[in-house]
């Protein structure tokens, strides 16, 4: 809303209240549009630091959408993440963490169930709704990983999931089914893709008539499940490949030999709970074959330093014909020095870079 963007919160609150009153009168107080008005009002209060006023509105909008849209709807995930940020702003880690866990679980479910069957336009729209989630959760983990070491593993899994989003495509899956030579299997797959695509649009869009919407969603889910079972009878393992495998840090540990280390570098914009700080950070998530409790999170530093002086030092080292004797030292101290204690016994390092470090 323009009022919110201009920080005219009183005007924004008044407009939202009027809209909510109209929606409640015409549609009742158990519809997604009314719930959205409640959530928008909660966001306005959050931006103003009025956390006590915001919390019951988040709770009420969550109850409405869970009842009307279902507990796995994308809108429910968005409410949960906004509610988690409210608790993050208040420094309430214990309350924020389970809200984040549930929000990400819903997003992963939506992704694995529908993303492979979406059109390119719908995929981009879906990814756009997630664009703010990754830096927000990364910031949350960055802030609290010492209080809860398990957050490093959750962040690692989120990074793997984010990178895996582009690995699943309906065209590639269609080709695999077609390669089986089973025409009936291909026909089943085409119907499955059509039903899943329609279901994705329904699940992620606002319902007109909530009852009719819920009935249609249920019918399509049942039909899709039957088609998947039928497809499995024809092509077996191919049907399983329709669901994107979700790798975790535990899978990485199992794949590492003694003497191996895996370093996942992550760059993210930082949010301090109340606002974007204007800073970006680099962190490294380090695993080895003995990492039974998950990766270690190592803070590398602010992006301005790594992407500025440190990276310029690296460029001097690799592009100058006769580099100075000290060339590369600053870059080493900024990027590799902090990792020494974590990879000191490694004979081989698998590095997944991010940001300018990809260069």
Q: Report strand pairing: 276-288 vs 260-271.
A: antiparallel
Examine the domain organization and report whether 205 and 266 are in the same domain.
no
Confidence of residue 234 (pLDDT cuts 50, 70, 90): confident
Confidence of residue 58 (pLDDT cuts 50, 70, 90): very high
Confidence of residue 244 (pLDDT cuts 50, 70, 90): very low
More confident residue, 107 or 202: 107
Residue 21 — left, alpha, or beta (φ > 0 → left; ψ -120 to 50 → alpha)? alpha
Contact status, residue 230 vs residue 188, Cβ threshold 8 Å: yes
- How much is the pLDDT for 132? 85
Cβ within 8 Å of residue 147, ≥6 positions away: 93
Residue range 69-86: average pLDDT? 92
Q: Is residue 156 part of a domain?
A: no
Is the pLDDT at 9 greater than 80? The verdict is no
Examine the domain organization and report whether 200 and 289 are in the same domain.
no
Confidence of residue 161 (pLDDT cuts 50, 70, 90): confident
Q: Is residue 328 part of a domain?
A: yes
Per residue in 109-157, pLDDT tens? 877 776 666 665 666 677 777 778 999 999 999 999 999 999 999 999 9
Which of 192, 207, 240 is where one domain is finished? 240
Examine the domain organization and report whether 202 and 226 are in the same domain.
yes
26: domain CATH number is 1.25.40.10
- Picking from 18-32, 90-104, 193-207, 289-303, which range would have the lowest pLDDT averaged per residue? 18-32
Per residue in 184-228, pLDDT tens? 888 888 888 888 778 777 766 666 677 787 788 888 888 887 887
Q: Is residue 155 part of a domain?
A: no
Is 230 buried (19+), middle (13-18) or exposed (0-12) by CB count in 10 A?
Answer: middle
Three-class SS string for 89-148? HCCCHHHHHHHHHHHHHHHHHHHHHHHHHCCHHHHHHHHHHHCCHHHHHHHHHHHHCCCC
Q: Is residue 158 part of a domain?
A: no
Average per-residue pLDDT in the chain?
84
Q: Is residue 186 part of a domain?
A: yes
Percent share of the chain, pLDDT over 90: 48
Per residue in 279-321, pLDDT tens? 999 999 999 999 999 999 999 999 999 999 999 999 999 888 8
Is the pLDDT at 340 greater than 80? The verdict is yes
- How much is the pLDDT for 215? 81
User: Bridge-partner residues for 296, per DSSP?
Assistant: 286
Examine the domain organization and report whether 253 and 182 are in the same domain.
no
Examine the domain organization and report whether 291 and 212 are in the same domain.
no
Three-class SS string for 152-214? HHHHHHHHHHHHHHHHCCHHHHHHHHHCCCCHHHHHHHHHHHHHHHHHHHHHCCCCCCHHHHH
Examine the domain organization and report whether 257 and 345 are in the same domain.
yes
Among 251, 247, 227, 231, residue whose Cα is nearest residue 239: 231
Examine the domain organization and report whether 259 and 347 are in the same domain.
yes
**What whole-number distance in Å separates Cα of residue 136 and Cα of residue 151?**
13
Examine the domain organization and report whether 226 and 313 are in the same domain.
no
More confident residue, 52 or 233: 52
Residue range 168-194: average pLDDT? 76
Examine the domain organization and report whether 272 and 344 are in the same domain.
yes
Q: Into how many domains does the chain fold?
A: 3
Among 38, 250, 264, residue whose Cα is nearest residue 138: 264
> Would you tell me how many other CB atoms lie within 10 Å of the CB of residue 160?
18
Which of 85, 108, 131 is where one domain is finished? 108
Examine the domain organization and report whether 190 and 271 are in the same domain.
no
Domain that holds residue 353: 249-358
CB-side exposure of 13: number of CA atoms within 13 Å? 15
Q: Is residue 353 part of a domain?
A: yes
- How much is the pLDDT for 199? 79
Which of 240, 268, 297 is where one domain is finished? 240
Examine the domain organization and report whether 272 and 333 are in the same domain.
yes
Examine the domain organization and report whether 288 and 212 are in the same domain.
no
- How much is the pLDDT for 171? 60
Per residue in 39-55, pLDDT tens? 889 998 998 899 999 99
């Amino acid at each position: 809303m323009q009022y919110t963007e201009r920080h005219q919160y009183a005007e924004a609150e008044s407009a939202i209240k009027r809209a909510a009153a109209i929606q409640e009168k015409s549609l009742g107080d158990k519809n997604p549009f009314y719930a959205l008005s409640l959530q928008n009002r909660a966001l306005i209060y959050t931006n103003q630091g009025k956390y006590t006023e915001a919390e019951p509105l988040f709770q009420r909008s969550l109850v409405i959408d869970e009842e009307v849209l279902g507990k796995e709807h994308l809108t429910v995930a968005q409410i949960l993440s906004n509610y988690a940020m409210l608790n993050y702003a208040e420094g309430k880690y214990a309350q924020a963490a389970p809200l984040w866990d549930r929000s990400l679980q819903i997003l992963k479910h939506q992704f694995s169930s529908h993303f492979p069957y979406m059109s390119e336009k719908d995929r981009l729209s879906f990814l756009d709704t997630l664009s703010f989630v990754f830096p927000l959760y990364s910031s949350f983990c960055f802030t609290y990983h010492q209080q809860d070491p398990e957050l490093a593993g959750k962040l690692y899994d989120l990074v793997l999931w984010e990178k895996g989003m582009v690995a699943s495509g309906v065209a590639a899956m269609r080709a695999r089914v077609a390669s089986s030579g089973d025409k009936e299997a291909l026909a089943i797959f085409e119907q499955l893709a059509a039903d899943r695509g329609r279901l994705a649009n329904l699940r992620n869009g606002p319902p007109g008539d909530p009852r009719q919407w819920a009935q249609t969603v249920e019918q399509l889910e049942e039909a899709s499940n039957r088609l998947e079972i039928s497809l499995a009878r024809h092509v077996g393992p191919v049907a399983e490949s329709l669901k994107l495998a979700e790798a975790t840090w535990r899978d990485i540990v199992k794949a590492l030999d003694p003497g191996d280390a895996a370093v996942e570098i992550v760059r993210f914009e930082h949010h301090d709970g109340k606002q974007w700080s204007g800073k970006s950070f680099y962190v490294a998530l380090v695993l080895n074959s003995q990492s039974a409790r998950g990766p270690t999170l190592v803070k590398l530093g602010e992006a301005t330093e790594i992407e500025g002086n440190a990276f310029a030092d690296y460029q001097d080292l690799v592009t100058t014909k006769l580099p100075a004797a000290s060339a590369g030292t600053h870059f080493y101290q900024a990027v590799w020095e902090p990792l020494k204690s974590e990879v000191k016994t490694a004979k081989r390092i698998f590095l997944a870079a991010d940001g300018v470090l990809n260069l």
